[in-house]
Amino acid sequence: MSLDKKSLIQIVILVILVAVGGGAYLMQQDDGLNLDFITELFESKPAVTRAPVAKAPAPVTKPSATVVVPPVAKSRPDAPAIPSTPAKGQIQGKPFMVDASTIENGVLSLHQGRDVTSELEVRLMLGTSPWDVPAGKNFRISGGNATDAPQILLAWKEKDNVAPTEKKFSGNYSLLLELGQEKDGKLPGKIALTLPDEEKSNVAGTFEATIKGFRIVSGKPDLTVDSVDTLQYLALRELLKDDANKTLEVLGFRDGRYSQPDSSSKNMTGYIEAEYRKNQSAPSVRRFQFEKGAGTWKLVKTLKENQLNEAHPLQAPNKKDSPAKVLTHLAAKKLEVDIRKKFPAKGIYEPIFVTRHSDKFKIGVCEANYRLEPAGVPVKTAYLFRRKADGWALDRELGKKEKVDFDNGRIVKR
């Protein structure tokens, strides 16, 4: 399918406004992302934005303000010096070594440790276009409170605290950040940062940030990126395909996810749901399934409101797969059939499947929780399975007062 420039821009704007929750925009929102403004993007009359929008830094004339400039050979005399060694420093009095870094949606994250549970992190909300990698840009701050200065966030874990402690800085710090050119999905950089807290938290040295998230490259969306934002873009493109009059109002996305295959012979798969309406009609839900083949994400199949992703997986489970995967698949197929017979005009929303099985007694149960309306009353049922020579097979639906005693494999009353 080909898209004209106007349609591409509309999609990109919508995706970025929805997906910027991973960047600086949602960092400043207490109530999460407001999607009220999306309707106007597709109306024929001029759009009126009712929600705040993350903006790129505005041109500044005052010497004390933030300046984004091309790379320079020398720093200004008052700029902090940057050592040529790997970035390190201290946060809240604790030694800090940058083991890994990422840049996504205009947010540069430097953290100690190579996983998301790192105990120390420095996050810089650069304020650049969320879909654009700020390659070759420099940032210089020498104290003051410039309105467009990057917001700095420190995160560290206190003893016995599960959640990290955070502290934000919007000014009165010194920063020299020099970003190089992108290569092989990495963005090299140098940083010298000193913060105005009592401990004089700081970090200085070199780093190489992994580029993540949905972005635009040479005017085109990069569909090779493993991101929920990429799936949102593809879903929106499909929804807009037959919406020539721009009457579509996207109410929101949910359950966006992608996963690695369980074998090298299979591709990555993804899933997302979109709730929308046209011409102020009742809301509808469409479910989208994706696959990453030849390094690029593609939309493979769409499902209706009464169809479940678990019942129609792109890669159907077999008897070699885990019991949890097989029982969920079989239960979802049975649930679809039951709902279609009992409530032909209803859909299935917010499904949750919980499984339990016993190899000793060759018995298993899958409990299904769901709603028949998007905001309806939760409904619960359970299906009984038995393992036979050729694999797991559905036995029947359990009664409301029945349960399986996994200590002896018997059906008992609750």
User: What pLDDT digit, counting tens, does each position of 177-212 carry?
Assistant: 999 999 988 999 999 999 999 989 999 999 999 998
Cα four-point dihedral sign 332, 338, 339, 345? positive
Tell me the longest C-alpha to C-alpha distance in the chain.
Answer: 80
Distance CA 104, CA 211 (A): 6
Q: Position of tokens 């929008």? A: 53
Tokens of 381: 């049922």
DSSP state letter for 375: T
Distance CA 262, CA 134 (A): 35
What pTM was estimated for this model as a whole? 0.68
- The CA-atom distances, in angstroms, between 355 and each of 194, 291, 324, 366, 383 are 51, 26, 6, 4, 10
At 337 the three-state DSSP class reads helix
Tokens of 254: 């949910």
User: For the stretch 190-206, what's the b/e string if a residue is b when 16 or more beta carbons lie within 10 angstroms of its beta carbon?
Assistant: bbbbbbebeeebbbbbb
Specify whether the backbone of 272 is left (phi greater than 0), alpha (psi in -120 to 50) or beta: beta
Query: What pLDDT, on a 0 to 100 scale, did the predictor assign at position 159?
Result: 72
Do 213 and 129 form a contact (C-beta atoms < 8 A)? no
Do 99 and 109 form a contact (C-beta atoms < 8 A)? no
Element (H, E) at 341: helix 323-342
Residue numbers of the chain with a pLDDT score lower than 70:
1-80, 114-118, 161
Element (H, E) at 325: helix 323-342
Query: What pLDDT, on a 0 to 100 scale, did the predictor assign at position 11?
Result: 57
Query: Closest Cα partner for 301 from 359, 53, 309, 372?
Result: 309
User: For the stretch 349-387, what's the b/e string if a residue is b when 16 or more beta carbons lie within 10 angstroms of its beta carbon?
Assistant: bebebebebbeebebbbbbbebbbeeeeeeeebbbbbeb
Distance CA 101, CA 212 (A): 10
- pLDDT, tens digit (0-9, with 9 covering 90-100), for 344-388: 999 999 999 999 999 999 999 999 999 999 889 999 999 999 999
At 120 the three-state DSSP class reads strand
Tokens of 275: 């709730």
Query: What pLDDT, on a 0 to 100 scale, did the predictor assign at position 215?
Result: 85
Do 382 and 401 form a contact (C-beta atoms < 8 A)? no
Query: What pLDDT, on a 0 to 100 scale, did the predictor assign at position 283?
Result: 87
Distance CA 58, CA 90 (A): 32
